[in-house]
Amino acid sequence: MRKLFGKILSSPPRILVLGFAAIVLIGAGLLMLPFAHTGAAQPRFIDTLFTATSATCVTGLVVVDTGTYWTTAGQLIILTMIQIGGLGFMTMATLFAIALKRRISLKEKLVLQEAFNQTSIEGIIRLVRKVVIYALTIELAGAVLFTIRFAFDMPFGTAVYRGIFHAVSFFNNAGFDIMGDYRSLTDYVGDPLVNIVTMLLIILGGLGFVVLADLVEIRNPKRKLSLHSKVVLSMSGGLILIGAILIFIFEYTNSTMASLTFGEKVLAAFTQSVSPRTAGVNTIDLGAMRQATQFVMVILMFIGASPGSTGGGIKTTTFTALLGAVIAMVRGKEDVVFFKYRLAQERVYKALTVTLFAFGLVILATMILSTTEDHQFLQLLFEVTSAFGTVGLTLGLTAKLTFAGKIIIIVMMFIGRLGPLTLTYALGPKQGRQLYRHAEGKIIIG
């Protein structure tokens, strides 16, 4: 038995999969306890499992309203899972090990390397320290600003609690809110402070901790932004701007924005453009949006955040690599070049693999839901993409899902948080070194 466990835990991807699964199951069990929920009847295990998966995988899809169904204790359990899921359970475990002055083993460093999607273990412990410091600092700043604003609308104690909850939730791109009645931040659609703080928390959480470290250290004249940071920042900014413009155009005369002033429409457009980057926050009714807008949000959710961040999706760098490959092919160039740096061919292959794998999973899950749920195709595609991208936005379908539908969405959230390739490496057999290459053949493309 010991040998079997040793074999199972020999692979970093397997440790990540089992670690996240353990947190989900523990969280689901805690939410079943009487002190965690407000109702007299015990919640169904499928609902607590769904909620725990959504929290740990920092998604935000809910089958029951977070603000009214769960007690303060239940909400704190959810918040703890969000923090652990957002930063990664290995990050938290390493933090405790550092506090206890315990030596970090090579295997633990390899797991951290896999968790942060790094190319080597060099400097991985320093990165963990930075992750914790940056996360807590940003969350604290967000909590203070939210508290100041909420204090005008509710008792100070409630404002503090809601400020902390939403700051942690939004920075970790979880999208859970405790406003009640599934209304998210619709009460603050025209509020500049709430919208700007929310967008900043989401963006900072979605850039990735490597990029945040680069931005902090850019003050040093000897330091320059890495290629990774340049690609992430430029693509993230471009997607937010393009998304906001399209949402503004499509929804300008629609019922979702018709009653808003021009400035409020711009603010709402940007918030809705930032949110699909795996955050799950909305200030307007998504169900009332035009289908063109909903499809734009599906695309943004599929692309998602950036590597090493609290978000999901195929990642901005993956999309950039594919876009670069297309541009290079159209221009007749052999190399994919960004900022005067050539991208290794294996990076392009990996980007293509991740995208096709993710696309296949989303299509398969949507097809299955089409047979188990009686809803429109775009609603189902939106729900599945939101789950895979760990976004948390919904067109009102989540609470109406059947048992089979909930299982499908749970699986998609889990895969989306870990990444399809990590799950494949964890479940698949260990590949040996290839000892030969086949003769080259040719097929007609296009």
Q: For the purposes of burial, counting CB atoms within 10 Å of the CB of 421, is it exposed (0-12), middle (13-18) or buried (19 or more)?
A: middle
Residue 4 has a pLDDT of 42
Q: Determine, yes or no, domain membership for 219.
A: yes
Residue 104 has a pLDDT of 65
Q: Determine, yes or no, domain membership for 444.
A: no
Residue 108 has a pLDDT of 61
pTM metric for this prediction:
0.87
Residue 5 has a pLDDT of 43
Could you give the CA distance from residue 365 to residue 380 in angstroms, rounded to a whole number? 9
Helix (H, G, I), strand (E, B) or coil at 343: strand
Which of 57, 78, 115 is closest to 392 using CA atoms? 57
Q: Determine, yes or no, domain membership for 386.
A: yes
| Residue matched to tokens 């901005």 | 316
Residue 279 has a pLDDT of 81
Q: Which of the 8 DSSP states describes residue 37? A: B
User: Identity (one letter) of the amino acid at 245?
Assistant: I
Q: Determine, yes or no, domain membership for 181.
A: yes
Could you give the CA distance from residue 111 to residue 106 in angstroms, rounded to a whole number? 9
Residues 232-242: pLDDT tens digits? 999 999 999 99
Indicate the number of domains in the chain.
1
Q: Determine, yes or no, domain membership for 61.
A: yes
Residue 432 has a pLDDT of 56
Q: Which of the 8 DSSP states describes residue 394? A: -
Residue 372 has a pLDDT of 92
Q: Determine, yes or no, domain membership for 434.
A: no
What are the residues whose beta carbons fall under 8 Å from the beta carbon of 420, sequence distance 6 or more?
A: 354, 357, 358, 361
Q: Which residues of the chain have pLDDT under 50?
A: 1-2, 4-5, 7-8
**239-262 residues labelled b (16+ CB within 10 A) or e (exposed):** bbeebbebbbebbeeeebbeebee
Which structural domain, as residue segments, surrounds residue 33?
2-426
Contact 121, 113 (CB under 8 A): yes
Q: Determine, yes or no, domain membership for 431.
A: no
Q: Determine, yes or no, domain membership for 435.
A: no
Residues 198-213: pLDDT tens digits? 999 999 888 887 888 8
Q: Give the tokens for residue 325.
A: 């490959």
β-strand partners of 337 = 342
The answer to whether the Cα torsion of 365, 370, 375, 379 is positive or negative is: positive
Residue 342: in which H helix or E strand, if any? strand 341-343
